[in-house]
Every structure is written in C-alpha cells, then in structure tokens.
Amino acid sequence: MDRRRFLDTLLWTSLAGTALVPLCAVPFYLVPPAGALRGKRINLGRIPPGEMRKGQSGARVVIGINDGGVRVFDAACTHDGCPVKWVSATRHFECDCHGAKFDANGKVTKGPAKEPLAVLNHREENGEVVVE
C-alpha cells in the first residue's frame, strides 16, 4: 500500500469513527435515571404466573409474578445501563448491548455484567405497582 492510499484510509476511518462515537450514548437516553423510578405507578394488568412484562412505555421497570408474588426489577443492565428485555422462551433477561444475561431472579448467568439486576422496593395499590 502506498503512502497516499494509507493516509486516505486513515483519514476516512478516523472520520467514520468520530461520526459513530455519539451513537454510543443513545442507550442512556432511552433509559431514564434510577431516581426517576421513585413513585412510578404501573398498572399490573394481567401477567400470567412465571412471566415478566415491561412497565409502561419508557418505563425502566420490569414486573414479574412468580410463586413469591410480584417482583419488580430495574430493567437497566448492571454492566453499562442498557435496557434489558425478558425472553419468555428461555425465561431470562437479556441485554442487547453487550450480551449479558440474567435469570428470572435477576442473577447474572452470563457476563460482562457482574452484579444482579436491582430489585425495586414497591407496594401494590388498587391493581397497580408503586415503586418506592
């Protein structure tokens, strides 16, 4: 490779990398900060036992019903704060950003996350879950 071609490649690679860096912040705009969850009211609706569902649109809360009653999790991955989703077929939470997986109790089953999902204190009122 001659010098001119090398410098052109270096220039365009640098420009593309610089243009893509702001996209790394997108997940943080999609997930509200933890303090924004306090006082959040989420209608339970009908959740079959053993299933999870995301709270209202934009909510960072996942609600599940199991043998122990209602469980409420912070739906932000503990690795980098990206949103996690519930996969019913395999009964686990999954983070699309870096591939972390959590079991139905929020415990890490596959890294890079090292901490379990945060279980949120809550109370039930009139068919709703209120995050405390």
**pLDDT score, position 43:** 65
Task: Write down the pLDDT at residue 57.
Answer: 44
* pLDDT value for 33: 55
CA dist 102 and 25 (Å) reads 23
What are the sequence ranges of the domains in the chain?
Answer: 1-26, 31-131
31-131: CATH, from 2.40.50.140, 3.30.2090.10, 2.102.10.10, 3.40.50.620: 2.102.10.10
The DSSP code for 21 is G
Model pLDDT for residues 59-115, shown as the tens digit of each residue:
566 676 666 677 888 888 888 888 888 888 888 889 888 889 998 888 999 888 899
Residue with tokens 């009908």: 46
Query: Dihedrals φ, ψ of 85, to 5°?
Result: -125, 155
Residue 101 pLDDT: 93
Question: How many CA within 13 A on the CB side of residue 56?
Answer: 10
Task: Provide mean pLDDT across the span 19-45.
Answer: 63
Q: Tell me the per-residue pLDDT of 120-132, one tens digit each, with 9 for 90 and over.
A: 887 877 777 777 7
pLDDT of 18 strictly over 90 = no
* pLDDT score at 56: 56
Q: Is 50 left (phi over 0), alpha (psi -120 to 50) or beta?
A: left
Burial of 61 from C-beta contacts in 10 A (0-12 / 13-18 / 19+): buried
